[in-house]
């Protein structure tokens, strides 16, 4: 059975752990017991009244394939709505080294912002992601949410309850990644390969812009 694991995005590691503090510092898997807050939230139901699966008409006009020096980004399909565009940019900004823009697409979760700053530091030191290829990009329907069989779905639900979104959506992406040699020499937490991730996107008011609030690995 697939498992959904929460990611706490960590900042600067010390000593030998600095070897792992590159791009994947934002994808450290949380282990151990749930917090008291999460245990309480487990017993609450997530209302899908504010879940968005139908978005306004949308046209994506950016390039799906881009190369900067020895770094390459490619999407095999274009985003079909604003939340899929956020996920697209999570990868494209990383490859392009546009870390200020990366900070702007994250919500109030400080760990995400710390991770982006830490990724820039590693990038400046020559340890970075060399290639991202998006193979599949899709937004969950309400039915997908209700029927998910991920073991750790309660973690995602507790994050939704904690943030009290006026609107939220889940985006799933299948992606391949390849590190630079300097990054591999440091020993990244995850090696080159293909992975699935989920992005919790939301708005805290109708006037807010959509942001990324949490990122999760799906463990096959």
pLDDT at 160: 95
Average pLDDT of the segment spanning 174-187: 93
Mean pLDDT, the chain, whole residue set: 83
Task: Give the H or E element holding residue 175.
Answer: strand 167-179
Q: What is the CATH number of domain 3-10+63-219?
A: 3.10.450
Of the candidate ranges 13-22, 125-134, 160-169, the one whose mean pLDDT is the lowest: 13-22
The answer to whether residue 173 scores a pLDDT higher than 60 is yes
The answer for 47, left when phi > 0, alpha when psi is -120 to 50, beta otherwise, is beta
State the pairing for strand pair 167-179/71-75.
unpaired
pLDDT at 22: 36
pLDDT at 217: 86
Residue 11 binned pLDDT confidence (cut-offs 50, 70, 90): very low
Residue 150 and residue 6 in contact, taking contact as beta carbons nearer than 8 Å: no
Average pLDDT of the segment spanning 192-219: 92
CA dihedral 128, 133, 135, 141 (to 10 degrees): 50
CA distance 1 to 9: 25
The answer to whether residue 170 scores a pLDDT higher than 70 is yes
pLDDT at 6: 44
| Dihedral sign for Cα atoms in the order 41, 82, 174, 121 | negative
pLDDT at 43: 54
pLDDT per residue as tens digits for the range 28-49: 333 334 454 544 445 578 999 9
The answer to whether residue 15 scores a pLDDT higher than 50 is no
Domain boundaries, the chain: 3-10+63-219
Q: HSE on the CB side for 47, CA within 13 Å?
A: 7
Select the more confidently predicted residue: 43 or 154.
Answer: 154
pLDDT at 108: 85
CA proximity to 125, closest of 97, 89, 104: 97
pLDDT at 110: 87
The answer to whether residue 147 scores a pLDDT higher than 90 is yes
pLDDT at 67: 96
């Amino acid at each position: 059975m697939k498992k959904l694991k929460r990611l706490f995005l960590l900042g600067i590691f010390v000593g030998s752990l600095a070897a792992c503090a590159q791009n994947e510092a934002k994808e450290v898997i949380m282990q151990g017991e749930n917090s008291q807050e999460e245990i309480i939230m487990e017993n609450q139901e997530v209302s899908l009244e504010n879940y968005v699966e139908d978005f306004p008409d949308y046209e994506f006009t950016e390039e799906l394939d881009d190369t900067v020096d020895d770094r390459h980004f490619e999407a095999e399909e274009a985003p079909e709505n604003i939340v899929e565009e956020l996920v697209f940019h999570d990868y494209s900004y990383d490859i392009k080294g546009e870390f200020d823009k990366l900070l702007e697409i994250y919500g109030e979760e400080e760990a995400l912002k710390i991770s982006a700053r830490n990724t820039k530091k590693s990038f400046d030191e020559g340890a970075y992601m060399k290639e991202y290829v998006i193979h599949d990009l899709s937004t969950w329907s309400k039915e997908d949410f209700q029927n998910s069989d991920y073991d750790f779905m309660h973690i995602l639900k507790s994050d939704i309850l904690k943030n009290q979104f006026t609107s939220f959506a889940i985006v799933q992406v299948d992606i391949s990644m390849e590190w630079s040699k300097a990054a591999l020499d440091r020993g990244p937490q995850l090696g080159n390969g293909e992975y699935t991730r989920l992005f919790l996107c939301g708005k805290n008011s109708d006037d807010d812009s959509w942001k990324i609030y949490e990122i999760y690995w799906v463990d096959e």
